[in-house]
A and B are shown apart, each in its own frame.
Chain A
Amino acid sequence: MSDNVEKYIKRKVYKSTNSRIAQKFVDAGLEKLRACINCGTCTGGCPSGRRTAYRTRSVLRRALTGDESVLEDIGIWFCSTCYTCYERCPRGIPVTDMIIKLRNIAVEEGHILDPHFVLANKVFYVTGHGVPANGEGNQKWRDLRESYGLPPLPPTVHMHPEAVKECQELMKSVGFRDLLDKIEKQKEKEKLEAEKAEANKIEDKKKEKEKK
């Protein structure tokens, strides 16, 4: 194939709105989005869009038109859930809630950033807190509490191991544990593949050098 074909011919096929992800959208109650008039009020007032490549309207439109690549777009994690767009949409679309549902679908498809995954899997699931003060590395936070006359640990899950169990029980019951396990496996697999690919590359380079 000619290089120019590769370089310049960009055929775009407009997918129907009935794709798998669009269907997931509808199942998640996102069909409300069909009332969107693409006015751009959401993007126009978005504090995140002012400094990043995240475009509220475009992201939702891509999802609605079945563009699955939106799930891998890191931009969807740049919404600070400030609800400005939600309040102002002239069509009454709960925009922020839509973004949150879109993220849910992304996670379900395994697209979750490493730090977010660690936070869910290694911190929240294990301790019941998103920002814990127990455990070894956190002595200074307990000291800080005491310096203000508070007990070293708060009377939350930190003081109640049985409460942590309760939370974990619930997370299993709603399927979060399974989801985390699925993602963990996927992440490991991806990591292995990436390592393999890296190794192959080095191997190839070596061979090339040897040839020369």
Chain B
Amino acid sequence: MDVFKYFKEFKMDVLKEVGNIGAGNAATALSRLLNKPVDMAVPKVQLLPFEEISEKVGGAEQVVIAIFLRVEGDAPGNLFFILSPDAAKSLLKRLAGIHVEEGDFNEMEQSALSEIGNILAGSYLSSLADFTKLSMSPTVPSLAMDMAGAILGYGFLQFGQMGDDALLIDTTFLEGDQEVEGQFFLIPDPESFAKIFQALGVPLEND
């Protein structure tokens, strides 16, 4: 586990580029769907304690909407697309003309959100797979609306066996007026990093 603490800046930069390419393509996909420009923040790559990862979306108790995909193949991991309930409502309104009533999302609205998440996460992953030439196939997306801690905890299980931190590739994108703000969290399994680096021609030795 400690090996992640000593990743040189260069390796972190490689992982940032991984997030950049994935989220960049997802942002393009979203921009096409909305027919509007979508901006993206520079990805952050950090080794963070589990607690702090929840803080990134407003704390462990903050209610968020998450579309979760387990990535299978050469470099397995967990991919979350996270939206606030307000951002999700705005997204539904623009993309599907659905006005969400006060309160909970109904089945139809959840299904539409899940599909939007699937399109975005799919473009994130497929661009990553193209870039690395690794096979990365997503499972069927699963949608949850719940406390951030409860949702994200699921993404930490693989790291949990090795320590109390997870390496997170975090990319935020926003539409001009910030009405649609979404975050991608890619948490590759600890074993996947060597494969990602190898595929990208980064020397493997622990320097």
Q: Do A and B come from one complex?
A: no
Seen from chain B, the residues whose Cβ lies within 8 Å of a Cβ on chain A are none
Seen from chain A, the residues whose Cβ lies within 8 Å of a Cβ on chain B are none
